[in-house]
A = this chain, B = another copy of it.
Amino acid sequence: MHAFDVLRDPVRRRILELLAEGEHASGEVAAVIEREFAITQAAVSQHLKVLRDSGFATVRADGARRIYAVNSDPLQDVDAWLDRFRRFWEPKLDALETEIARGRRKRT
């Protein structure tokens, strides 16, 4: 599944926003999403599965709970795809800025 297929769904984007704030158990995510989008816990779980399978999120067990965290690699890929359009809104970088802007993406 391509990164943009994953990000297309507003529920999944919202889940990623929540995970960007920090780790959350499946149930915690579900509580927020159920309220905001009026869908069932099962639906949220299915979305979490998509995020897992596509590499946007990682999981670890904590007893019966499943703790989710964001994995930014696929988001970084999206960011990289946007590079070819950046010149449209980042008109003129001077040498130093270019150097740093490049570094910001290349550097681990």
Complex contacts, A8 vs chain B, CB 8 Å: 2, 4-5, 7-8
Contact B72 A78 (CB under 8 A): no
A82 within 8 A of B: yes
Complex contacts, A5 vs chain B, CB 8 Å: 8
A55 to chain B, nearest CB (A): 13
Complex contacts, A20 vs chain B, CB 8 Å: 84-85
Chain A: interface residue total (CB-CB under 8 A) = 32
Which of B79, B82, B100 is the one whose CB lies under 8 Å from A100?
B100
Closest to A71 in B: B88
Q: In the complex, A81→B79 CA distance in Å?
A: 10
A85 to chain B, nearest CB (A): 5
Among A70, A81, A85, A103, chain B packs the most CB atoms within 10 A around the CB of: A85
Give per-residue flags for A30-46: 1 if the beta carbon is below 8 A from chain B beta carbons, else 0. Answer: 00000000000000000
Which of B2, B7, B17, B104 is the one whose CB lies under 8 Å from A90?
B104
A10 within 8 A of B: yes
